[in-house]
Amino acid sequence: MTINWVDGFEIRVSVEHGEAVISANKEGLLSLAQQLTALAEETAGSHIHYDEYNSLEERSAELTIEKLE
């Protein structure tokens, strides 16, 4: 699966009161939309892992999105 990023993306994931919150600028939202579309075409069990070392803003919570059957 190809993971594409729109230049200038910013994405942050936090957990507030037991709720995951994804905050992103326009470029970040467009990047996520493209990646979710690509993930939808993959086989069950495929996933995308996001963390502050590969895509998220500093001090973000890690996030994994997985495709079910």
Domain that holds residue 20: 11-66
Does 20 reside within a domain? yes
Does 5 reside within a domain? no
Question: How many domains is the chain built from?
Answer: 1
Distance between CA 43 and CA 4 in Å, rounded? 19
Chain center to CA of 14? 12
Does 52 reside within a domain? yes
Quote the pTM value.
0.89
Per-residue pLDDT of the chain (69 residues; tens, 9 = 90+): 989 999 999 999 999 999 999 999 999 999 999 999 999 999 999 999 999 999 999 999 999 999 999
Strands (E), the chain: 11-16, 19-24, 47-50, 63-66
